[in-house]
Amino acid sequence: MYFPKSVRLCEVGLRDGLQNEKTLLDAEQKLFLLRGLIDAGFPVIEVGSFMSPKAVPQMKDTDDLFKALGSPAGVELRALVANLRGVQRAIDCGCTKVKLNVSASRQHNLRNINRTPEESVASFAESAELARDNGLEVSGSISMPFASPWEGTTPVEDVDSIIEAYLRVGVSEISLSDASGMAMPAQVNELCRHVREKYPQATWWLHFHNTRGLAMANILAAMDAGMTQFDSSFGGLGGCPFVPGAAGNISSEDVIHMCEGCGIETGIDLVKLMALTVNLKEMLSHSLDSYVLKAGRNEDLLKG
């Protein structure tokens, strides 16, 4: 079993987490949290998305957040975009990295937007070009590359075909996102090995939801296959788009605690993060799904 020496974590709570919350945080609260996350040492933070404020009201002030944050040193701030309009908003507010997303489920994609996943990715060409022409970095996410509620297990050929569509539009930083929380460790290990070997020109992110209690096991399985970039969410904020009330993203605190205990560097200050997540909990007025936040770190248990 292989454990890497270090990993890079992207904190996605303010995007994938907050968009599942009923409580709307205002820009001031979000900025407090973002500055705390930067101070805790996250190398990458997903600040928000540039979607229609009507569709996702929680993300309506993403532009203001980027303007207020500017370009802090040592951290990459990224945002999710869906189209040209989103990229233009990103350019206008000083965001320097955008992420596109497509569902690997053919049926899901056809029903939602009447396009195959490959057609969706091909349609990203203009957005990716506009972003790059303005000096922005572009990454691409593939949602449900392991399994989906429509097809069950996603055929590897489908994942390959979507990766190749991304590569054709010049996007080589690719996130595999288990949004439905159906990924299984053996499959994760195998698919990660497969894509790393077949597409050495690409770099990878993994995004696991803890819907069925397997997110940490899946991170281990991905690390064993050589993956080193993972999304996580403070307090485990988030949910499952297909299961109301289910657990959300893997908790950042739990991942960092595991990494510290396995000699894997993250560069993140867990104590600072835990204090910040207590603030988040107060803002949202409900309990959060972080084991370490509830039980404390291993060292907090040591008897003086």
Q: Which residues bind a second copy (CB under 8 A)?
A: 1-3, 147, 149-150, 152, 180-182, 184-187, 189, 210-214, 216-217, 219-221, 224-225, 240, 242-243, 245-247, 251, 254, 257-258, 261-263, 290-292, 294-299, 301-303
Contact 36, 67 (CB under 8 A): no
CB-nearer residue toward a second copy: 54 or 303: 303
Beta strands in 122-212 (DSSP E): 137-143, 147-148, 152-153, 173-178, 203-208
Dig out the tokens for 198 from the structure.
């077949």
Q: How far is the CB of 301 from a second copy (least distance, A)?
A: 5
Q: How far is the CB of 16 from a second copy (least distance, A)?
A: 17
CB-nearer residue toward a second copy: 47 or 292: 292
Helix axes 62-69, 84-93, angle to 10 degrees: 30
Question: Alpha-carbon distance 84 to 12, whole Å?
Answer: 22
Catalytic residue among 192, 240, 259, 262: 240
Q: How far is the CB of 148 from a second copy (least distance, A)?
A: 9
Contact 120, 113 (CB under 8 A): yes
CB-nearer residue toward a second copy: 1 or 73: 1
Q: How far is the CB of 259 from a second copy (least distance, A)?
A: 9
CB-nearer residue toward a second copy: 67 or 193: 193
Question: Alpha-carbon distance 81 to 100, whole Å?
Answer: 5
Which among 37, 213, 260, 190 has a CA at the least distance from the CA of 176?
Answer: 190
Helix axes 270-284, 252-261, angle to 10 degrees: 160
Buried b (16+ CB within 10 A) or exposed e, 271-301: eebbebbeebbebbeeebbbebbeeebeeee
Residue recorded with tokens 């040492």: 41
Which among 190, 207, 120, 106 has a CA at the least distance from the CA of 149?
Answer: 106
Q: How far is the CB of 287 from a second copy (least distance, A)?
A: 11
CB-nearer residue toward a second copy: 11 or 254: 254
Is 192 catalytic? The answer is no
CB-nearer residue toward a second copy: 165 or 206: 206
Q: How far is the CB of 199 from a second copy (least distance, A)?
A: 20
Contact 83, 116 (CB under 8 A): no
| Residues with a known catalytic role | 240
